[in-house]
Copies of this chain bind each other. A is one copy, B any other.
């Protein structure tokens, strides 16, 4: 079975997180589940990777955190939510462009079995 190695995905974990935050603010556990769902179970971000990405991205100004209750009534345990900033949107957009270029280059060195 082929598995995605961390060295490959390195540098795109941030992009995946931001993709989710582009839609609406979210928090660690939910983002983790979303990534698994969107990738149809093909990829699961490690918890430690996820939370350290939050710290880094907040420091870089790509995201902002706020603590809130899961429901408006104020019930349940408070969570740390993250929302994407304008700077983060710009960063995400650059990452997408970078991906296109990277893909183009890497493919030149890939030989598919079928060909």
Contacts and interface: CB of A to CB of B under 8 A. Distances in A.
Q: How many copies does the complex hold?
A: 2
A108 B38 contact: yes
Contact of A94 (B2, B101, B104, B106): B2
Interface string A71-88: 000000000000000000
A49 interface: no
A108 to B, nearest CB: 5
A16 B109 contact: yes
Contacts of A32: none
30 contacts: A2-B101, A3-B101, A4-B101, A5-B11, A5-B98, A7-B10, A8-B10, A8-B11, A8-B12, A8-B99, A9-B105, A10-B11, A12-B109, A15-B106, A15-B109, A15-B110, A16-B106, A19-B109, A19-B111, A38-B109, A39-B108, A42-B101, A42-B104, A42-B105, A43-B105, A93-B113, A96-B111, A99-B106, A99-B110, A100-B110
Q: Which 5 A-B pairs have the closest CB atoms?
A: A7-B11, A19-B109, A8-B11, A16-B109, A2-B97
